[in-house]
């Protein structure tokens, strides 16, 4: 059993445990819980490991048994006090006679916020909040966006050269990053609910967009394609029977092409905010809301520059996964990762680093938007 030097160390351990549920608990949040005695010796711990499974608090209490009595529980998210797929955690905490609960983050769902803590306090349990709250917010940001905005949490990924190009001026881009970087992208894909690209990328690269090897989740693949130009011969269409593909188009897309795609097993959804004679592009706001209605927690946009630019302009990007390779591509017309209108002045840093890693000779920079942390 572990012994902790201070309260932050206990909560950090609970956060580390919570991370182990990422990829398997969604649309629930990852949560960790640690029960300690008055000298901060671990009595037991647990984490929420899969959607529909027991919550972290219940796992920790079950592991502690009678030893939980009089202990202090450190938990990364406010315990629930409602009946969901499992019983209320507050009841389990009270039944186990825990004397104090330390919470990192209050539940961001308005119907639940503060209620678990109020229930515990009413029953005489001492409750503290806010310990390592920012770290807990970072971890639960996808869950928070879902319950607060009804939208998926958007990850943007790109590989670029030292001079910030994602392809040559002819559109050639395979491969800019090295094998280690690409393996990391496959890991990322394996915990997504959806992976999206623009039709420009499909026409240039004919990507498969699956996780290889597979991860804990299988993402639906989405092509943003106003006029339903996705070729029937593309790898996406050819593999649609195994892994689903959605084409998001507008009512202006030719009906016969839409029918051909549907016959090939593609789900075609049409932007209801556009009319039949409206040749503007698919509204990303409409598409993101539609994915939210479909319970999409994590969405990965893999480019290209036009689609990512539109997503950035619409302030949809929550996290970036950037792979920088020691290559120089050059060319004024070569694509950069984020097109669109862009910012008019250099903004205050609106993304903060989560990780910077060397992946052989590439560098991986992982950032999260401040808005996502503060939400
Ligand atoms: N290095 C990397 O990480 C990486 C990743 C991906 C791609 N790439 C490279 O990037 C290039 C393709 O990028 P790209 O910028 O030309 O194309 P893209 O972003 O993949 O696709 C853009 C197309 O998507 C469609 N679209 C529909 N609605 C849209 C909306 N609301 N906003 C933006 N686009 C919308 C538009 O075509 P319609 O109007 O016909 O619908 C638009 O032309 C290729 O050379 C590829 O190799 C590199």
Tokens of 64: 């502690």
Q: Which of 145-149, 228-232, 276-280 has the lowest mean pLDDT?
A: 276-280
Q: CA-to-CA distance for 326 and 300, rounded, in angstroms?
A: 24
Percent share of the chain, pLDDT over 90: 93
Closest C-alpha to ligand 1, atom 34: 307
**Burial class for 177, CB neighbours closer than 10 Å (0-12, 13-18, 19+):** buried
Q: CA-to-CA distance for 323 and 338, rounded, in angstroms?
A: 14
- Angle at which helices 7-19 and 56-64 pack, to 10 degrees? 110
Residues with CB under 6 A from ligand 1: 158-159, 166-167, 171, 173, 176, 197-201, 204-205, 224-227, 229, 281-282, 284, 302-307, 310, 335, 339
Ligand 1 centroid to Cα of residue 204, in Å, is 9
Q: Which residue segments constitute the domains of the chain, with CATH numbers given?
A: 7-138 (3.40.140.10), 150-374 (3.40.430.10)
Q: CA-to-CA distance for 95 and 122, rounded, in angstroms?
A: 14
**Strand locations in 162-216, DSSP E?**
194-198
Ligand 1 centroid to Cα of residue 320, in Å, is 17
Tokens of 250: 């507008």
Q: What is the pLDDT of residues 306-329, one digit of tens each?
A: 999 999 999 999 999 999 999 999
**Burial class for 92, CB neighbours closer than 10 Å (0-12, 13-18, 19+):** buried
Q: CA-to-CA distance for 332 and 279, rounded, in angstroms?
A: 28
Query: Which candidate, 300, 251, 256, places its Cα nearest to that of 271?
Result: 251
57 is a catalytic site residue: yes
Confidence of residue 207 (pLDDT cuts 50, 70, 90): very high
Name residues whose C-beta falls within 8 Å of residue 158's C-beta, 6 or more positions apart in sequence: 166, 302, 303, 308, 321, 322, 323, 337
Ligand 1 atom with the shortest distance to the CA of 229: 40
58 with 84: CB under 8 angstroms? no
Q: CA-to-CA distance for 62 and 200, rounded, in angstroms?
A: 52
Ligand 1 centroid to Cα of residue 203, in Å, is 9
> Which residues are registered as beta bridge partners of 357?
364
Confidence of residue 349 (pLDDT cuts 50, 70, 90): low
Confidence of residue 1 (pLDDT cuts 50, 70, 90): confident
Q: What is the pLDDT of residues 281-298, one digit of tens each?
A: 999 999 999 999 999 999
pTM listed for this prediction: 0.96
Q: What is the pLDDT of residues 135-187, one digit of tens each?
A: 999 999 999 999 999 999 999 999 999 999 999 999 999 999 999 999 999 99
Ligand 1 mutation pick, 155, 303, 316, 321, max ligand atoms within 8 A of CB: 303
Ligand 1 mutation pick, 154, 156, 164, 167, max ligand atoms within 8 A of CB: 167
Pick the catalytic residue from 57, 78, 302, 319.
Answer: 57
pLDDT for residue 83 is more than 90: no
Three-class SS of 298-363? EEEECCCHHHHHHHHHCCCCCEEEEEEECCCCCCCCCCCCCCCCCCCCCCCCCEEEEEEEEECCEE
Averaged pLDDT for residues 110-134: 95
Averaged pLDDT for residues 81-101: 90
Ligand 1 centroid to Cα of residue 167, in Å, is 11
């Amino acid at each position: 059993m572990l012994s902790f030097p201070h309260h932050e160390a206990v909560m950090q351990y609970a956060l580390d445990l919570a991370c182990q549920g990422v990829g398997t608990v969604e649309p629930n949040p990852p949560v960790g819980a640690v029960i300690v005695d008055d000298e901060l010796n671990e009595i037991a711990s647990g984490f929420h490991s899969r959607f529909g499974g027991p919550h972290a608090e219940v796992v920790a209490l079950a592991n502690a048994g009678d030893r939980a009595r009089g202990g202090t529980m450190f938990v990364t998210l406010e315990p629930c006090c409602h009946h969901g797929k499992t019983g209320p955690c507050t009841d389990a905490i009270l039944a186990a006679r825990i004397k104090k609960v330390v919470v990192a983050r209050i539940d961001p769902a308005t119907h639940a916020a503060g209620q678990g803590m109020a229930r515990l306090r009413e029953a005489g349990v001492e409750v503290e909040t806010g310990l390592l709250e920012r770290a807990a917010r970072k971890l639960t940001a996808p869950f928070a966006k879902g319950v607060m905005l009804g939208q998926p949490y958007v990850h943007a990924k790109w590989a670029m050269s030292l001079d910030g190009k994602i392809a040559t001026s002819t559109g050639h881009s395979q491969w800019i990053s090295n094998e280690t970087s690409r393996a990391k992208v496959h890991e990322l894909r394996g915990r997504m609910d959806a992976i999206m690209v623009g039709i420009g990328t499909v026409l240039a690269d004919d990507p498969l967009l699956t996780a290889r090897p597979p991860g804990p989740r299988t993402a639906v693949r989405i092509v943003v394609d106003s006029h339903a130009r996705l070729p029937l011969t593309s790898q996406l269409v050819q593999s649609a029977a195994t892994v689903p593909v959605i084409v998001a188009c507008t009512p202006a897309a030719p009906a016969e092409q839409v029918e051909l795609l549907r016959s090939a097993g593609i789900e075609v959804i049409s932007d209801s905010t556009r009319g039949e004679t409206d040749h503007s592009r698919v509204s990303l706001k409409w598409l993101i809301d539609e994915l939210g209605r479909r319970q999409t927690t994590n969405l990965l946009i893999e480019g290209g520059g036009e689609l990512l630019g539109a997503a950035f302009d619409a302030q949809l990007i929550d996290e970036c996964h950037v792979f920088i390779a020691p290559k120089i591509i050059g060319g004024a017309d070569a694509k950069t990762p984020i097109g669109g209108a862009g910012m008019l002045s250099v903004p205050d840093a609106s993304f903060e680093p989560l990780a910077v890693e060397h992946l052989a000779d590439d560098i991986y920079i992982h950032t999260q938007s401040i808005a996502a942390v503060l939400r």
